[in-house]
A and B are shown apart, each in its own frame.
Chain A
Amino acid sequence: MSEANASATRITPGNALRPEDIALLETKPADAVAQYALWLGDDALILAQRLGWWISRAPELEEDVALGNIALDQIGHARSFLTYAGRAWDKTEDDLAYFRREPEFRSVHLVEQPNGDFARTIARQFVVALYQWELYSRLVDSSDPTLAAIAAKAVKEVDYHRDHSIQWTLRLAQGTDESRRRMIAGLKLTWPYVEELFTDHPLVNELGDIAVRPSSLRSSFDEAVKLVLDEADLELPDVPGAIGGGRQGLHSEHLGYILAELQVLAREYPGASW
């Protein structure tokens, strides 16, 4: 089977890892590796939580399916990364997702941003998908085999997310006057949070070729963005970048509410299994 025909979720040698398999690994990641896995896991988890809201509210049934699918992929990535991180501290994916407090989360502000209207969600998806695709395309070469395997599976799925967001960016930008106005507004609201994605952090110095240096992804991300915006006849939003801090546990005001909803039931019955 050629690579082009391979299903995004097909399990192949080298990337057959499921969260359940990762939980059984003999090796434990070093603390720094686990911290890095939290970055990626938390981004995916919070994004999935946001996207999950759309299911049953999308503009068209096909989009209920599409956004649901993207959320489902992100949950899958989150489970793998969090399971791996948890191996360092004898914690499960659920211990990490449901029983950490806000400052212990490592998500970036971008994924915490509200869904807004469909255009704002698409703008956020456009940035996230292009960023994650660049990131996972490089992480497949990580010297940590587990991170590389998770990335190998994720990159195939994120490729579809990229396609979905680009197709919609073009349609909204060049559809009607209203959709164009909304797409421009969505990009403008999203762009302040782009810079944080590419900000380096002392942790990556420590990790060497295990992690991908965020700043090293910027130029290819910018090129990919420019190609789409040119085709859509859109300008790069001229807005100042916001100070981030998610990787240090300094979050947007939105995260507290997201976690309140995410964690409520698990915390109501601590120690219960579901």
Chain B
Amino acid sequence: MTTTAIDAGSRVDEDTAGEQLFNELIAQDSRIEPRDWMPADYRKALTRQISQHAHSEIIGMQPEANWITRAPSLKRKAVLMAKVQDEAGHGLYLYSAAETLGTPRDKMTEDLIAGKARYSSIFNYPVRTWADIGAIGWLVDGAAICNQVPLCRASYGPYGRAMVRVCKEESFHQRQGFEILLELANGTPEQRAMAQDAVNRWYAPSLMMFGPPDEDSPNSQKSMEWKIKRFSNDELRSRFVGMMVEQVKVLGLELPDAEIRYNDETGRWEHGPLDWNEFKEVLAGRGPCNAQRMERRREAHEDGAWVREAAAAYAEKQAAKYAQAA
């Protein structure tokens, strides 16, 4: 037997042992860590999901940053700045979690600005009024929380741990959105109308954030077997509707959906039809702001290239200086 054959043989053994351990860990609801053996598909699916999530945080900064300079009170300005800054932080944890799977952040950023990677399509809608800032916090961050709380238990350790921190901050974000809407709903008739208009526009897109209906979501099954995802798109969407039905009463506003009802038989909240055609259009790049969001991200990245190069060159020169001195 040649050496190569021995190596190949032991690799097969390692893979078999690795796969066995992986399957056991998943079955025990335990965690997979970066150095553990994992199936290539698991790595690929996670890298895609985590990087898309990171991109969503980063692109999602833009619609809200759009109102930082115009926030109508200094307190609101401070809160909004802190919120958008948190989102940059979330992007950072998530890129770091994705890096543990072997893809560097630069590569993920390149894919994003080359249009090869996706981000949550809700950020391709325009943020027209101040009330939209409230509706985004309440509905969009609310939907994100419903989606993300179960991800705190995702089988991949770095992802689950990043999500714990993300979820804590997201719950503040949702509260600030709710507070903005509450203030507007109790304000002047014009402010109240502004709030209702924003809820009308953001309701359906926020429901579509959970992804296509279960029968059209082929990747979900595998993701649930791997315990990355714990609940189906439709189940999470139904839970979200149930939460919003209660909260909207406190706001004294209405959800623009006459068909919301609780189904006693299934134990689920049901909602009216959603325009999945529009969802696909926006996802395919034909939303109102897709081009604008991509251009802004590309511009920031390209305009900043000389700064990143300078920091790297400086670090190299300093390292050389210390090496010489040593």
Listed in ascending order, the chain A residues whose CB lies under 8 Å from chain B are: 19, 45, 48-49, 52-53, 55-65, 68-69, 71-72, 75-76, 78-79, 82, 93-94, 97-98, 117-118, 170-172, 174-176, 178-179, 182, 261-262, 264-266, 269, 271-274
Query: Would you call B89 and A175 a contact (CB within 8 A)?
Result: no
Q: How far is the CB of B82 from chain A (nearest CB, A)?
A: 6
Q: Which 3 A-B pairs have the closest CB atoms?
A: A59-B304, A175-B310, A179-B310
| Known contacts A72-B82, A272-B188, A274-B183: A61-B91 contact under CB 8 Å | yes
Of A53, A60, A118, A274, which is within 8 A of B69 by CB?
Answer: A53
- Contact string, B53-75, partner A, CB cutoff 8 A, digits 1/0? 00000100110010011111111
Q: Is the CB of B74 within 8 A of A58?
A: no
B113 to chain A, nearest CB (A): 14
**Residues in B whose Cβ lies below 8 Å from that of A269:** 72, 188, 190-191
Check A79–B310 contact: CB distance below 8 A: no
A191 to B188 Cα, complex, angstroms: 47
Interface size on B, as a range, is: 35 or more
Structural contact, B188 and A94, CB atoms closer than 8 A: no
The secondary structure that dominates the B interface is helix
Q: What string of 1s and 0s marks CB contacts (under 8 Å) between B139-162 and chain A?
A: 000000000000000000000000
Quick check: B92 and A61 within 8 Å, CB to CB?
A: yes
Contacts of A93 in B (CB 8 A): 74
**Residues of A contacting B: mostly:** helix
Contact with A along B293-310 (1 / 0, CB 8 A): 000100110011111111
Is A68 in contact with B74, judged by CB distance below 8 angstroms?
Answer: no
Given contacts A55-B84, A176-B309, A179-B309, contact A76 B304 (CB under 8 A): no
15 further A-B contacts with Cβ under 8 Å, apart from A68-B84, A171-B314, A175-B310, are A19-B74, A53-B68, A64-B61, A68-B81, A72-B85, A93-B74, A117-B303, A118-B304, A170-B314, A176-B310, A179-B306, A262-B69, A264-B70, A269-B72, A272-B191
B76 proximal to A (CB < 8 A): yes
A265 touches B306 (CB 8 A): no
Number of A-B contacts (CB under 8 A): 146
Residue on A with the closest CB to B188? A272
User: What residues of chain B have their CB less than 8 Å away from a CB belonging to chain A?
Assistant: 58, 61-62, 65, 68-78, 81-82, 84-85, 88-89, 91-92, 95, 130, 180, 183-184, 187-188, 190-191, 296, 299-300, 303-314, 317
B309 contacts A65, CB within 8 Å? Answer: no
> CB distance A75 to B311 under 8 Å?
no
Expressed in whole angstroms, the Cα–Cα distance for A261 and B67 within the complex equals: 10
Within 8 Å by CB of A68, from B58, B88, B180, B313, lies B88
Minimum C-beta distance from A171 to chain B (A)? 4
Please indicate the chain A residues that have their CB under 8 angstroms from the CB of B296 in the complex: 56-57
Of the A-B pairs whose beta carbons lie under 8 Å apart in the complex, a sample of 12, sorted by A's number, is A48-B77, A61-B95, A64-B61, A65-B92, A68-B82, A71-B81, A75-B78, A75-B81, A265-B130, A266-B72, A272-B191, A274-B183
